[in-house]
Amino acid sequence: MDKRNIIAGNWKMYKTPKETEDFIKEITPKVSKARALVYIAPPFVCLPAALRAKPGSNFLIGAQNMHDELEGAFTGEISIKMLKSMNVDFVILGHSERRHVFKEDDAFINRKVLTAIKENLQLILCIGETLEQRENNQTDEVLESQILKGLKNVTPQDMENVILAYEPVWAIGTGKTATPQMAETAHCHIRKLLIKHFDKNIANQTNILYGGSVKPQNVSDLLNQENIEGVLVGGASLDVNSFAEIVNKG
């Protein structure tokens, strides 16, 4: 099966609506021949600008987070109903900054996953170990636990809408990338977990992205690994030229 890589940009809390629109217009011609699928997740308030600028590109535009309830008294939160009304294409769930800075737990993330699936919105579920967990040789069990809890009650059919992103917490925004071999080892483990909990077809059809200090200089080595089918890029996705270079190497 010839699966296309996914190159996803996570803009975190950067860029205004105007900067978003300018970025998308500027990058579109630079990546018109790319083979990879391009996903961009700007801040919530930039989604309308991104969606407005999108025609003419093949980009998929998504949100960086959402609440699990459709509506309610949750000050400052955004629901899937709102996102879907804008026609966003996907949502990132369980990003390490949501888990570690905003203390989201696996149960909350699982509820969001189930909401996205129920409402038919593609999702990128992020998983990954901390430095302490890696040094204590807990990487495999942390990944298994995050997958089991994050995908609880998700059926094999539901997996069609699920993308996984392995993002070692110690590699995010630190400039320390996992070596391609380290990433491949983790991805291989994740693939085996998907085979165990679903089946081989589901495991093979699911894109597993790597994230954590991905740059134009290291993206090819990462994507050359057998079990890495895309990247989730933070810092290097904010600059048109560096993101275009990454996309074109995808």
Catalytic amino acids?
95, 167
Return left, alpha or beta for 79; rule: phi > 0 is left, psi -120 to 50 is alpha, else beta.
Answer: beta
Token pair for 213: 């200090």
Burial grade of 153 (CB within 10 A; 0-12, 13-18, 19 or more): exposed
Q: Where are the alpha helices (DSSP H) in 28-121?
A: 47-53, 80-85, 96-100, 106-118
**Does residue 232 touch ligand PGA according to CB under 6 A?**
yes
| CA dihedral over 87, 161, 46, 219, signed as positive or negative | negative
* Closer residue to ligand PGA in complex, CB, 127/202: 127
Q: Which range, of 46-54, 101-109, 155-163, 208-216, touches ligand PGA by CB under 6 A?
A: 208-216
SS3 state at 123 = strand
For ligand PGA, which residue has the nearest CB?
Answer: 234
Contact track, ligand PGA, 155-184, x by CB under 6 A? ------------x----xx-----------
Q: What is the DSSP pairing of strand 90-93 with strand 6-10?
A: unpaired
Q: Which range, of 39-47, 49-57, 153-161, 234-242, touches ligand PGA by CB under 6 A?
A: 234-242
**Does residue 6 touch ligand PGA according to CB under 6 A?**
no
Q: Which range, of 40-48, 65-73, 197-205, 207-215, touches ligand PGA by CB under 6 A?
A: 207-215
**Does residue 235 touch ligand PGA according to CB under 6 A?**
yes
| Contact residues: ligand PGA, CB under 6 A | 10, 167, 172-173, 211-214, 232-236
